[in-house]
Amino acid sequence: MKKIVIVGGGFAGLNLAKALANNQHFEVVLVDRNNYHFFPPLLYQVSTAFIEASNISYPYRKLFQGQINIRFFMGGLQKVVPGLNTIETTAGSLVYDYLVLAMGTETNFFGNENVSKKALPMKTIDEALTIRNHILLSMEKAVRSNNPDEKRKYANIVIAGGGPTGVEMAGMLAEMGRNIVKKDYPEVISRVGKLYLIDGGPALLGPMSKTAQQEALKVITGLDVQVMSDTLVKDYIDDTVILSTGETISAATLIWASGVIAREVPGLPADILSKGRRIMVDDINRVKGFENIFAIGDQCSQTFDSRYPHGHPQLAQVAIQQGQLLATNLIRSVENKPLKSFSYKDKGSMAIISKYKAVVDLPKGSFKGFFAWLVWLFIHLIPLVGFRNKLKIALNWLWSFVTNDPTLRLIIRPDKK
């Protein structure tokens, strides 16, 4: 049996492992620093107390029950040692015949030290829960304060980044401001704080269609979100957001949804990295200069396809398709069959803007509104792991949308000893 070590259990790594399940030719070890797989597109709903973290998470060990050739190893990658065919992790070393890097991305603060220390990123479950706690604690401080400027600072929220994550976050927070603040915080007679959405590009949802961009701007501004386009967050000092225009915003909350960078892989040569620290691979996702190391998903850059000369978009569908095809190619290799080149099948993109409002871009057209919202709900239920997760989140969505009052606004802070 060939030993395949997969580092990262996101969309790419998990689909690769599942496609190799119970295959007699391979021993598969999935390595991840968390003991659970989670669904990143819904992190913003966890951070806004709309759904529980458990709704979008599933333990790897439970997931792999009954799959005799797959094992889970909990640890974070520290270094790859290609000459020895080993990797070093925070929990020990592993030997491989094939190594697959599928670690995805992390938040890119573009070298801004103050922003990296004080802003709130949203790439993990831990970070989403941190945002939830921070926002709720800030509201408690706003209620207690008798100083109008201080009250405004704690109530103001700035979101940096006008892509799908930033727009979805802004829409959810705006809905909460309208439907929940007056119920939970009767001490606040009027809406003291404001919600700002800052984007460096000329339009929200930059990669999407004009229809999607115009709908997003219309709905978001209709929810009283202050949209500032062609503007960058330059610094964040003493709870003051400093913008590229010279303007400043007093805000105790800066949510950073402004960019990502591929996770670092110590041990690999620097000359195989492209823009955004993505690892250069060939048409079968094999890392440049190596025969038995592969990279898939957001972490890789594959430029042979003329449709994507700068690499594929960092989307879930790319990761899923690359994971599935790599499994096919690994099986074909042991069967001495020719390998297949990756060809991305674009299934479109979508974003929810607010309650009953979404936008969907398909290869053959775009649509918006209530039907797009229903499509968004359905599409986001399909990839969730486990029937129980699908049922729980469907019921939670139904209750929250009907009542406009989800009951998950808990400030939970484990003691630090």
What is the per-residue pLDDT for 281? 98
Confidence grade of residue 188 (pLDDT, cut at 50, 70, 90): low
State how many domains the chain has.
Answer: 2
Verify that 141 and 223 share a domain, yes or no. yes
Select from 115, 113, 124 the least CA-distant residue to 33. 124
Q: Is pLDDT larger for residue 407 or for residue 303? A: 303
Cβ neighbours around 277 below 10 Å, total: 18
Per mean pLDDT, which range of 42-46, 184-188, 347-351 is the poorest?
Answer: 184-188
Q: How confident is the model at residue 177 (pLDDT cuts 50, 70, 90)?
A: confident
Confirm whether 326 is domain-assigned.
yes
At 87 the pLDDT is 98
Residue 351 maps to a domain: no
Of 326, 256, 239, 347, the C-alpha closest to 284 is 326
Strand partners, 141: none
What is the per-residue pLDDT for 308?
Answer: 93
Are 314 and 190 in a shared domain? no
- Binned at pLDDT 50, 70 and 90, residue 379 comes out as confident
Residues above pLDDT 90, as percent of the chain: 75
Per-residue DSSP letters for 161-191?
A: --SHHHHHHHHHHHHHHHHTHHHH-TT--S-
Q: Quickly state the pLDDT bin for 406 (edges 50, 70, 90).
A: low
- Report the mean per-residue pLDDT for the chain: 91
pLDDT at residue 395 above 80?
Answer: no
What pLDDT, on a 0 to 100 scale, did the predictor assign at position 402? Answer: 67
pLDDT band at 30 (very low <50, low <70, confident <90, very high): very high
Mean pLDDT computed over 2-20: 97
Same domain, 240 and 139: yes
pLDDT at 407: 61
Residue 417 in this model has a pLDDT that exceeds 60: no
Does any domain span residue 245? yes
The CATH number for 299's domain is 3.50.50.60
**What is the model's pLDDT at position 354?**
86
Does a structural domain hold residue 339?
no
pLDDT for 123 beyond 80? yes
- Whether 253 and 267 share a structural domain: no
Mean pLDDT of 65-89: 97
Please tell me the predicted confidence (pLDDT) of residue 183: 80
CATH of residue 166's domain is 3.50.50.100
Q: What is the mean pLDDT of residues 210-216?
A: 95
pLDDT at 387 over 80: no
Residue with tokens 């871009």: 361
Q: Are residues 99 and 158 in the same domain?
A: no
Please give the pLDDT value at position 187.
74
Q: Tell me, rounded to whole angstroms, the distance of Cα 168 from its chain centroid.
A: 12
pLDDT band at 78 (very low <50, low <70, confident <90, very high): very high
Q: What is the pLDDT of residues 244-286, one digit of tens each?
A: 999 999 999 999 999 999 999 999 999 999 999 999 999 999 9
**151 and 254 inside one domain:** yes
pLDDT at residue number 415 = 59
| 143 domain-assigned | yes
pTM for the model: 0.91
| Distance of alpha carbon 4 from the chain centroid | 26
The reply to whether 15 and 100 lie within a common domain is: yes
Q: Is residue 90 located within the same domain as residue 157?
A: no
The answer to whether residue 348 is domain-embedded is no
Confidence of residue 342 (pLDDT cuts 50, 70, 90): very high
- Whether residues 91 and 150 share a domain: the answer is no
| Boundary (domain end) residue, out of 291, 308, 334 | 334
Give the confidence band of 166 by pLDDT, cuts at 50, 70, 90.
very high
Q: How far is CA 198 from CA 69, 227, 249, 379, 401, in A?
A: 48, 6, 11, 28, 27
Taking residues 345-362, report their average pLDDT. Answer: 90
The per-residue pLDDT for 374 is 85
Using a 10 angstrom Cβ sphere, with 0-12 exposed, 13-18 middle and 19 or more buried, the burial of residue 234 is middle
In the predicted model, what is the mean pLDDT of residues 15-20? 97
Does 171 share its domain with 264?
A: no
Question: Which helix (H) or strand (E) element contains residue 399?
Answer: helix 387-403
Give backbone dihedrals phi and psi of 104, rounded to 5 degrees, phi first: 75, -145
Residue 221 lies in a domain: yes
Same domain, 240 and 279: no
Domain with 21, as residue range(s), is 2-33+75-107+260-334
Tell me, yes or no, whether 417 lies in a domain.
no
